[in-house]
A and B are shown apart, each in its own frame.
Chain A
Amino acid sequence: MSLAFVSAAVAFFQAPVKSLVHLGWIDITVIAIYFAMVIYIGIYLKGAANTSEEFFMAGREMTAWIAGLSFVSANLGSLELMGWAGSAYQYGILATHWYWIGAIPAMLFLGIVMMPFYYISKTHSVPGYLHLRYGDGARGLSAVCFAFMTVLMSGINMYSMALVMKVVLGWNLNFSIWVSSITVAIYVALGGLRSAIFNEILQFLLIWLGAMLIPIMGLIEAGGWTPLKAQIAARMGSMRYTHLWSTTAHFRDNPMGIHWTGLVFGLGIAISCGYWTTDFLVVQRVLSAHNLRAARMAPIIGSAFKMMVPFIVILPGLLALSVLPYHLVGQDVAVATGQHSYNEVLPLMLVRYCGPGLLGLGVTALIAGFMSGMAGNVSAFATVWTYDIYGAFMNKKASDSHYVAMGRWCTFVGVLFSVGTAYLVQHAASIMDYVQGLFSFFIAPLLGTVLLGMLWKRATKAGGFWGLFSGTCTAIGLFLWVHFNPAALRYVAFSPDAKAMAEDMYRAMWSCSACVLVTVVVSLMTQPRPLVELEGLVYGASKIPEEHDEHWYQKPIIWASAVAVVFVVLNIVFW
């Protein structure tokens, strides 16, 4: 019996025979040191996670730098790293929009406009803010959607990483999934959000150290940026791959099938603001800041680093277009023909330039990317489940220690759900596309609800709930309409030439608009809340604490302006 169990276990974790590269002892040592360090940090911080405020909010003691780097790192999951590097290979420099217009304005808006309301309301989560502003209806809807989608996204991230590790390093899929997820579960369950944040800082550093050599070596090989553009143009037969905006006047003129209106209004406003200002996965990091100034500076610091991420993600994809001696293909074709897929471009470039030691560092960077994303997901899941579902609707009067215990168990349960999703996706890969679409269903309408809640005193409880509900239904309805009748794309995205990403952007724009419209109409038809109840929640009804900076250059608005100027200049340079 025991022999059969051992044999089954060995088969379960057995490595595939074929792989692109084999790691040496030095690479394995580098990876092992990383795992030892993250678990040690979890054990070390266990003593500082005894109360719910400590476990879920890291005691609200983080500095602006720590909260800001963690804010960006939690978003740098494996899909973000390997997926967007693959998109850069597939669509060219247009993929940079997801890091610039699709992030920077929203992050600055969060720091300058929205953060004071999140912070002074002393909420522990975004659904928690909806509870204070709109009551339990909007909170429940948002919390359930968020908890459900978070573990699903975490599982998809996990599967993406494990698949690439299997193809490139020959690692067994089960081994990658279980070892990395158990490690995340241990350090988050032990040290709570503080442990997740500390490790995210470490992971952010490793991602840069491990991945930065690729663009440096790649630019040396290509001879610089100008020769690289010429090489891509010669190889692809078009200049469209190296221009950010000049090819977006029509859907047919660029590889992504996208129009600038979709980029600006759909991505830049609905999706970007929806994600960066209302997705609790990232907002939770900023809420852990030790004062209002740190909370406002954190997204601004994060935005400066976010603006640089294309250097280690997008540029390797573009370099691969020029220097790789073979062409990469889509995932389906790769599985059928044994070729390499777009998603493998980052590890392939890593293998191209890095020998023993550096290869281990690069692989550690990819694992760190996955683990930071997953830790972000499970810590946010544990918080929302404990505070906004369990504590709000199931057990309102439990002790503080009970909620901390629930948070620790939730961490393991969230990881288990994520692992389950990873296996589900393994057997039905198309689920991945649907789940990513689903995620945008909830994020864009939530932006309308939160923004109106913060900026418009007249918004009511009923308006908030029905606005969020109708915005979500609009997104689902539009998705199903195009799914069953592709010709409907000409109405949703204004053109039959639009492609999948353009559809996502316009769908987000419509669902956010529907949410705003319904919230306004229903609010005007229902009884407003007394002004006194809105203190600390809404613009015009709240006194924002004054910040006394000793010097002009310490003001958040100065740094936000500096980031905004660099953002505009970069867009013009790569126009």
Chain B
Amino acid sequence: MRGHIQIWFFSGILLLVYGVLITGTGLWELSHPLVNPPVLYELHAPIWWGAIMTVAGLFYTLRFRPR
């Protein structure tokens, strides 16, 4: 493929950045609860969903990094 950077690397970077941002938001909300929380707020979805994205993003970023 002519592009040196694979699409999977771009995907990994995006996942990683989003994962860190969303996990960070979830952790921040532990000490600063929302005034109008969404349904099932007590499950803290941003923390575990963001963590899954961070791990997946890290894997794809490292696995497909340009060499």
Contact = CB atoms under 8 A, between A and B. Distances in A.
A26 B10 contact: no
Secondary structure of the B side of the interface?
Answer: helix
A112 interface: no
B5 interface: yes
A198 interface: yes
Given A48-B2, A61-B2, A205-B11, A358 B45 contact: yes
Contacts of B58: none
A387 B53 CA distance: 42
B38 A202 contact: no
A354 B26 CA distance: 11
The secondary structure that dominates the A interface is helix
Nearest to A41: B10
Nearest to A49: B2
B9 to A, nearest CB: 11
A353 B39 contact: yes
B23 to A, nearest CB: 9
Interface in A355-413: 355-358, 361
Interface string B18-59: 100110011001000010011111010110011001000000
A355 B49 CA distance: 12
Interface stretch (A29-37, A77-85, A331-339): A29-37
Interface stretch (A132-140, A213-221, A547-555): A213-221
B28 to A, nearest CB: 9
Interface of B: 1-3, 5, 7, 10-11, 13-15, 17-18, 21-22, 25-26, 29, 34, 37-41, 43, 45-46, 49-50, 53
Given A26-B25, A209-B53, 11 more contacts: A33-B14, A47-B2, A48-B2, A59-B1, A194-B3, A202-B14, A209-B18, A213-B45, A221-B40, A353-B39, A355-B45
22 contacts: A30-B21, A30-B22, A37-B10, A44-B5, A198-B3, A201-B11, A202-B7, A202-B10, A205-B15, A209-B53, A213-B45, A217-B43, A220-B40, A220-B43, A221-B40, A323-B39, A353-B39, A353-B45, A355-B25, A355-B41, A356-B25, A357-B25
